[in-house]
Chains A and B, each alone.
Chain A
């Protein structure tokens, strides 16, 4: 029982099956058509922009989380993830593509002065004098030039990080065995990347999400959005890993590694609930109208989503994943990972919609179509990147630790 993985092939490669490729293109095609049809039927540009913002941000952040996952493991000298490192690496390669989409979209909103999305873009148009005064007080941060500088900084550095980790990893494959250069560089890079990431993941959610309800503010918001993306990002990795294992690939990733990722899903679901509740309770307790308006609107007009959010992101994961055998059962994990991803998509939906489309929300063709398109895009990009390199980073110094991982 020495846990020697004798059957692991260190040079194993993945081939993108034609069937899956067709499914990916199919999803992209169907999703795009449904989205466009929805756009033409609804004739509501506010709704379309809000839907694009929600999906662009959600899918960009959950793919970016893969890079964060790699970075944090380098920083903490985490050895167990080496066997599965190529999966977050491949998933994260989707992020720069979606970042272009997000950049184009937000540039369109900003330059078009769309105050139906970001109310602070056109302060003189606000009728209420107090609200005008409030927002004028925030112009030091919420102004167009600084906003554009920030979005460029976030997206460039994040995309650079995504590509840099991939580059180090591929260089490590090509380097002679035992060379520590790329490992040390990755670790050094993690230090800079994580510091930048820690600050910007908060400020970016203020910029793109909290500034929709610009009159309102919450100090928990940045962490809340981050953890929402974090738990869905790890669930996404889980889905890809389960697919590969189901296809007979990735023998090096055992139930032990999967168990650890399952623990992450469980723990971060609780962390998300903790942050959601802390934000809710402080606002409920102090009972200031300028703060309670946020939950009042969501509770009155988005009641289904308000409860669905808690049901899918808290109640389901905590009770299903609590038992340790369920963290080793692939069917249960696939089910819960899907629930978590859809649940946090709903979470992002209810963050964005009340401040943009208001009380008359619908889940229609465009709301369903666009996520289907992004799912197809992620499948296509992830697996075509996975195909380009061996599934095991065979020169990674912690490879043996990972192959013998045991919880």
Chain B
């Protein structure tokens, strides 16, 4: 817990933001996050975010689904409860493929959605810190974490010169990473 303090640069235009963000980073300043009301193409690269690992998680979920489906049907049909279907071998794997496919897709997609929601703190009922209410309307907010050692005046002028329309300070007293209402 504890409190955290942020300096917020409020931007009004996405083109200014897309040039401002790399300019701020070039000065060696670490950006906590950028909040925008709509997705902005190219912002990920401008912020220097690493490539998402969500697809690797998706692959693992998918493989899990494949193994569970194939494994369970193999166990049920060849070991636990053998049933003769039209004289076919007990281990008739082509018949398992549709269910395996479905379970692979289901586990990969449901797992990815859940992971995405967890990582982005998006699940219903999850409390979020709102930096500035206008970030959900028409302004883009560049948040930089500061403490008592930060030269706020210098940082303010860097933000202003990078195109921020106004610079505010935001203190969040009750900082949590994950909290469900």
Contacts and interface: CB of A to CB of B under 8 A. Distances in A.
B41 A3 contact: yes
Contacts of A218: none
Contact of B42 (A281, A287, A322, A406): A406
Contact of B94 (A2, A3, A281, A324): A281
B11 to A, nearest CB: 14
Interface centre among A1, A3, A280, A322 (most CB of B within 10 A): A1
A280 B42 contact: no
Given A2-B15, A277-B97, 8 more contacts: A1-B18, A1-B45, A1-B46, A3-B41, A277-B94, A281-B94, A281-B98, A285-B95
B22 interface: yes
Binding site secondary structure of chain B: helix
B42 A3 contact: yes
A201 B44 CA distance: 43
Interface residues of A, number: 12
Interface residues of B, number: 16
A285 B87 CA distance: 11
Contacts of A40: none
A322 B108 CA distance: 14
B4 interface: no
A1 B59 CA distance: 31
11 contacts: A1-B18, A1-B19, A1-B42, A1-B45, A2-B19, A3-B41, A281-B97, A281-B98, A284-B94, A285-B94, A406-B42
Nearest to B59: A322
A406 B39 CA distance: 12
B57 to A, nearest CB: 14
Nearest to A325: B51
B2 to A, nearest CB: 35
Nearest to A277: B97
Given A281-B95, A281-B97, A406-B41, A2 B55 contact: no
